[in-house]
Amino acid sequence: MNTHRTRKKDALRVHEMVVNLGKIVLVTLFFDSEKRPVIEASFILPADSYQERMKTVESVIGAIRLL
């Protein structure tokens, strides 16, 4: 499962890329807006608990705010 999706969160666009490498899953988030530099957050998750740990990734997305 390799996926990419873009969504809006407030004034930010969130680009989420997920790459499955077998035993691990790489999740990279890019946050961008017209007025701020790009913010990147990357996660390396064990594939066997990927779904459970994605809750943490979603929490990070919710915590990012423009300063």
Q: CATH code at 21? A: 3.10.450
- pTM of the complete model beyond 0.85: no
> 51, 18 in Cβ contact below 8 A?
no
d(CA 67, CA 55): 24
Domain count, the chain: 1
Q: Which domain holds residue 16?
A: 2-63
Instruction: Tell me the per-residue pLDDT of 29-49, one tens digit each, with 9 for 90 and over.
Output: 998 888 888 889 999 999 999
| Residue 24 pLDDT | 95
> 13, 32 in Cβ contact below 8 A?
yes
The number of C-alpha atoms within 13 Å of 1 and in the hemisphere containing its C-beta is 10
d(CA 33, CA 45): 27
